[in-house]
Chain A
Amino acid sequence: MAEINLVPIEYRERKDRWKKVFSKTTFIILFLVILSLLLHGGLLIYKKRLNTDLGIIKQEISILSNKRTPSEEEAIINLDTKLGLLKEVFQIHTYWSEIFKKIEDLTMPDVYFSDAKLTLEQNKIFMQLSVLTKTYTSLAKQMLVFQNGPLTQKVEISGITLSEKGEIKFSLSSAFPLSTLLINGEKNKTTK
């Protein structure tokens, strides 16, 4: 039985010609080429969109930067520095007003101080007193009171002499911790 083909001869010949040039594999590769070109196109469009987004974000950053006022920021930074300094100096700020009250509390009624020298050195308050008293018992008691005092450290007595008036004269040296002045300071700060 003869084969009946309704496709025109011209068309059939053209198709055959294509078949001579392109195999199935070639078509697949051609498809991949087109696909990769499409991918490249897609990437270009996507990148353009991303660049637009990036531009918008950069613009927003720029707007925010324009909103900043360097003078105000500088003032805040300066204030921060000043507060740091203030904190530093207040930490070492000493309050001496109460120390004399503490010394008075530790002084026997029949004991008198003539000269006194209080020096703040190496985180301690060194105290040197010239003391007058009537009896040796008072002297001993005074020494004991200072030694047993909650804040006094290293009490020393020297130069015990009898004055022309019959009084006992001696030198008393002691030391207080720096915290004696600072603790009081903390108290004062809270009441201010």
Chain B
Amino acid sequence: MIKDIASIVLILAFIGIVVFLDVPGVQGVLQTRKDIEIQKQTLIDDQVFLAKVNELTKIYKDNKESIDKIDLILPLKEDIPNLIVQVESLVFEQGLILDKLEVGIPVEDGGGTINPEDVRAKKESSSSKYKTLTISLGFTGDYSALKNFLKATEENMRLIDIESIGISPESENMGIFGFDLSLKTYYQK
């Protein structure tokens, strides 16, 4: 009888130890090992990330001068005063006489514009993260000056695109034309 009671007590103790101590213990160990694996992977990812960031930072610092030029190509703001100076300079450098210069008011949603019939600009602006400013330009001069102006505009630091060109002869002067241009420039949102 005593033997049976001792056996039962020990069996219960054994079951209790296994169920309440060993099984949770094993589960805990497995969970911790899993956590270690996750953390190890995080560590590796962080190391790779940091190495990449350091590499990119070095490239960034080495090319800081060129990178700063991006803000000149695509300014952070409209920067209309600077734009007017640039356009005026582009016109005068080619020996053209500036008759008209109008800068459009940008619409809030990226570039939208000013020029309501400009379907293309609207399409571009709806999906992009930059805004567009339109410029209406009127100047007088000869044909070769216009071509020089176009070339200079293409190479201008601030990106300017031409949307339309109108040419009409000046009645009094042979070889002198009146030019009407619609330009487009961009800036970051």
Q: Which A residues form the contact surface with B (CB < 8 A)?
A: 20-23, 25-26, 29-30, 32-33, 36-37, 39-40, 43-44, 46-47, 50-51, 53-54, 57-58, 60-61, 64-65, 67-69, 72-73, 75-76, 79, 81-86, 88-90, 92-97, 100-101, 113-123, 185, 188, 192
CB neighbours (8 Å) of B150 from chain A are: 96-97, 100
Asked, given contacts A93-B159, A93-B161, A119-B164, whether A29 binds B7 with beta carbons under 8 Å apart, the answer is: yes
B residues whose Cβ falls under 8 Å from a Cβ of A = 2-3, 6-7, 10-11, 13-14, 17-18, 21-22, 25-26, 28-29, 32-33, 35-36, 39-40, 42-43, 46-47, 50, 53, 56-57, 60, 67, 70-71, 73-74, 119-120, 124, 128-130, 143, 146-147, 150-151, 153-155, 159, 161-169, 186, 188
Which residue of the partner chain, among B6, B18, B151, contacts A36 with CB atoms under 8 Å?
Answer: B18
A50 vs chain B, min Cβ distance (A):
4
Question: Chain B nearest CB: distance from A128 CB in Å?
Answer: 9
Apart from the given pairs A96-B162, A100-B150, A117-B166, 4 other A-B contacts in the complex at a CB distance below 8 Å: A30-B10, A50-B32, A57-B36, A84-B129
Whether A36 contacts B3 by the Cβ 8 Å rule is no
Query: Would A64 and B53 be within 8 Å (CB), given that A39-B22, A57-B36, A57-B40 are in contact?
Result: no
Partner of A54, one of B36, B159, B165: B36
- Tell me the minimal C-beta distance from B91 to chain A in angstroms: 15
| Residues of B contacting A61 in the complex (Cβ-Cβ under 8 angstroms) | 39, 42-43, 46
Contacting pair B53 A76 (CB below 8 A):
yes
Q: Which residues of B have CB within 8 Å of A81?
A: 129
**A120 in contact with B162 given A23-B7, A43-B29, A68-B50 (CB within 8 Å):** yes
Chain B residues, Cβ within 8 Å of A37:
17, 21
**A30–B3 alpha-carbon span in the complex (Å):** 12
Among B14, B129, B154, B186, which residue has its beta carbon within 8 angstroms of that of A29? B14
Please measure, in the bound complex, the distance between the C-alpha atom of A73 and the C-alpha atom of B54, giving whole angstroms: 9
* A97 and B2 alpha carbons, distance in the complex (Å): 110
Given A21-B2, A117-B164, A119-B163, A86 contacting B53 (CB threshold 8 A): no
B25 and A64 contacting across the interface, CB-CB below 8 Å = no
Contact at A95–B154, with CB atoms within 8 Å? yes
Contacts of B32 in A (CB 8 A): 47, 50-51, 54
B79 → chain A closest CB, angstroms: 15
Chain A residues with Cβ below 8 Å from B60 are 72, 75-76, 79
Asked whether, in the complex, the Cβ of B25 is within 8 Å of the Cβ of A43, the reply is yes
30 A-B contacts, Cβ less than 8 Å apart? Answer: A33-B14, A36-B14, A37-B17, A40-B25, A43-B26, A50-B36, A54-B35, A54-B36, A61-B43, A64-B46, A72-B53, A72-B60, A75-B60, A76-B53, A79-B67, A81-B129, A82-B71, A85-B128, A88-B128, A93-B161, A95-B154, A97-B147, A97-B150, A114-B169, A115-B167, A115-B169, A116-B167, A120-B162, A122-B119, A192-B155
Docked Cα-Cα span, A94 to B151, in Å, equals: 11
List chain B residues, Cβ under 8 A from A21: 2-3, 6
